[in-house]
Amino acid sequence: MTHETKRKIEGTAALLLSTLAAFSGLFWLIFILADVLIHGIGALHPSLFLNDPAPAGVSGGGLKNAFVGHLMITAFATLVGVPIGLLGGTFLAEYARGKNISKVISILADIMVSVPSIIVGTFIYALMVRPVGHFSGWAGAIALAIIMIPVVLRTTEDMLSLVPWTLREAAFALGAPYYKVIVQVVYRGAATGIFTGILLSIARVAGETAPLLFTAFNNSFFSYNMNGPMPSLTVSVFQYAMGPYDDWHAQAWAASLIITIFILFITVAGRLLLKWRYKH
């Protein structure tokens, strides 16, 4: 075999392997999504949304309480996490732009984005659950907010940095104080990007389970009381999937399907929004 053909064969083989790798990525995605879809659709039933859990082993129960609980925990987490993340990102990109403190916080936030979420759960357990002696929806919401803050902070910082500095100078020239420049000019310029960041951070926390396990815990009854244990879809999925009943497994699949659709929808919407905004 000549050197030439050897190089060609080696090249083709390597390219073939990486093509295979790419399609294996696609294969897993389709496999997992199809599996969740097939199992989930079979178990989708109005009672899932309309009924609260039935006693263990009795069929006909639903997860209404978990849907409401999940919505409430996520909503309060968003209410706490988004403003702090947004303002924090503003500080890094505006008042502290280019300063060392900004770089340090930025790096720490990047690390916090990837820190295991179960750690946040243990942290909140020590701060908010053990002192009062019971699990609570508030603890769950704060745990999720803590996961949200670094995500929103980093995207806000990046998006504000994309707004041209000359735009601010134009506003300064009109005599506007810095906070007015930020709120009325910079935020407007970066609105789509910031909004996308918020969407993606909601998608990120909506699927979290680990930080809720010992903060919001679970509750098989319907409850609006954020001060007591609060059910959530993800924790219910974990509990039901590990349980012994087929009916529980079916409900876990259905809940998984809903979570997956919700999160993938937000993720795709966010990406499309970004693409549409920054394609020029």
Closest by CA to 92, choosing from 47, 23, 136, 154, is: 154
**What residues contact 113, with CB distance under 8 A and at least 6 apart?**
150, 151, 154
Q: Shortest Cβ distance from residue 93 to other proteins (Å)?
A: 10
Is the CB of 34 or the CB of 50 nearer to other proteins? 34
> DSSP code of 182?
I
| Distance from C-alpha of 213 to C-alpha of 221, rounded to nearest angstrom | 17
Min separation Cβ 185 and other proteins, Å: 12
User: Considering the complex, what minimum distance in angstroms separates the CB of residue 242 from other proteins?
Assistant: 7
Q: Which one, 72 or 146, has the nearer CB to other proteins?
A: 146
- Residue 50 or 103 with smaller CB distance to other proteins: 103
Q: Around Cβ 171, how many Cβ atoms within 10 Å?
A: 18
Shorter beta-carbon distance to other proteins: residue 50 or 104: 104
What is the number of helices (H) and of strands (E) in the chain?
Answer: 13, 0
Q: Between residues 222 and 238, which has the closer beta carbon with respect to other proteins?
A: 238
- Minimum Å distance from CB 14 to other proteins? 4
- Output the CA–CA distances (angstroms, integers) from residue 133 to 75, 128, 213, 230, 277, in the order listed: 24, 9, 15, 15, 48
Q: How far is the CB of 118 from other proteins (least distance, A)?
A: 5
